[in-house]
Amino acid sequence: MPDDVVAAHERGVRNALAAGWKVLEGGGSALDAVESAVVVLEEDDTFDAGRGSFLTRDGRVQMDALIMDGATMRAGGVGGVERVKSAIRLSRLVLEKSPHVYFVGEGAERFAVEHGMKLIDNSELVIEREVVRLREFKAMIAAGGVDTTFAGPENSHDTVGAVAMDVNGNIAGATSTGGTLNKEPGRVGDSSLIGCGCYADNLSAAASCTGWGEPIMKLVLAKSAADKVAAGKDPQTSADESIAQLEKRLNGHGGIILLDARGRFGIAHNTPKMAWGVRMADGERWGTKVGG
Ligand code: ASP
């Protein structure tokens, strides 16, 4: 994250905290809180979710998202959607209205329409900054300056996510992304896959991940971090160990936020920066780097 965008990231995170907190303060569910927080981040062009997402190799926005309820383990996810404004709202619709858990592409969009969600043109999600970024990235590849078998921190960041605990002690998680820069059309990353980029179970933890999706998927990172909590580790230790394992085992990079049903949380990343924020009854904290 270049220094000139730090303020925008922190502002976005704080806006998301405010939206999530408003729900929780009013006695709303953790599920509603994570959805509200993620919608705010999707609507903010700063992040790789909703409008302003990274572009696929052929210049389109293709989004993945998942939302999961820790109390019931109900989940809703979508992959490769191109014509909805909010992938997380569509995921919530899947969670609420379908016996299925996961929809992709055209079927997901048809499901959206059948349940009253308006489709938009993909161009409404594309912004000039990303058109330029894709063009420059392709020029770097053409010049031999990028190893395309590796998604470096420069092309896999800014996915958004939230975890929350409500007044009833239930937890939930949500993750939404435009994926990685210059991804091949149809590629789905970790973000929307249960247990990879997002997870929630009251009996272990709620988690949301960001970073290079392929290694995160292989390690089923969100679920394995939650399992560490279920095995008795505190969420911060579990988050630290999970990110250390991502680096050691697969040379991956990324970050995780983790929350258990006792309200204990952990935040870890092995990238130079990751925007994060925490809101609790005693106040709010946020930043772009954890642990110095
Ligand atoms: N994890 C996302 C993906 O691989 C990218 C990101 O976190 O920014 O699709």
Tell me the residue range of the domain where 123 lies: 3-203
Instruction: Give 32 Cα–ligand 1 centroid separation in angstroms.
Output: 23
Q: Does residue 252 form part of some domain?
A: no
- 77 bridge partner residues: 66, 102
| DSSP-derived pairing of the beta strands 102-104 and 75-81 | parallel
CA 189 – ligand 1 centroid, Å: 6
258 lies in some domain: no
Q: Which two tokens stand for residue 286?
A: 């946020």
Q: Tell me: the pLDDT tens digits for 136-193?
A: 999 988 888 777 666 666 677 899 999 999 999 999 999 999 999 999 999 999 999 9
Q: What SS3 state is found at 121?
A: coil
Q: What is the pTM of this model?
A: 0.97
* SS3 labels along 221-248: HHHHHHHHHHCCCCHHHHHHHHHHHHHH
Ligand 1 atom nearest to CA at 187: 9
Domain count, the chain: 1
Q: Please give the distance, rounded to the nearest whole angstrom, from the Cα atom of residue 168 to the centre of ligand 1.
A: 31
Would 123 be classed as within a structural domain?
A: yes
List residues bridging with 252 in a β-sheet: none
Q: Could you read off the pLDDT of 205-254 as tens digits, one per residue?
A: 999 999 999 999 999 999 999 999 999 999 999 999 999 999 999 999 99
Query: What is the set of active-site residues?
Result: 159
Question: Is residue 246 assigned to a domain?
Answer: no
**Within a domain: 270:** no
Please report the atom of ligand 1 found closest to the CA of residue 189: 9
Which residue shows structure tokens 């970050």? 255
Q: Cβ < 6 Å from ligand 1: which residues?
A: 48, 156-159, 177, 179-180, 189-191, 197, 210-213
In a domain, 72, yes or no: yes
In this structure, is residue 163 part of a structural domain? yes
CA torsion angle 114 122 54 269 (round to 10): -20
**Integer Cα distance of 147 and 251 in angstroms:** 14
Q: Which atom of ligand 1 is nearest to the CA of 157?
A: 8
Q: In this structure, is residue 139 part of a structural domain?
A: yes
- Provide Rg for the chain, Cα atoms: 17
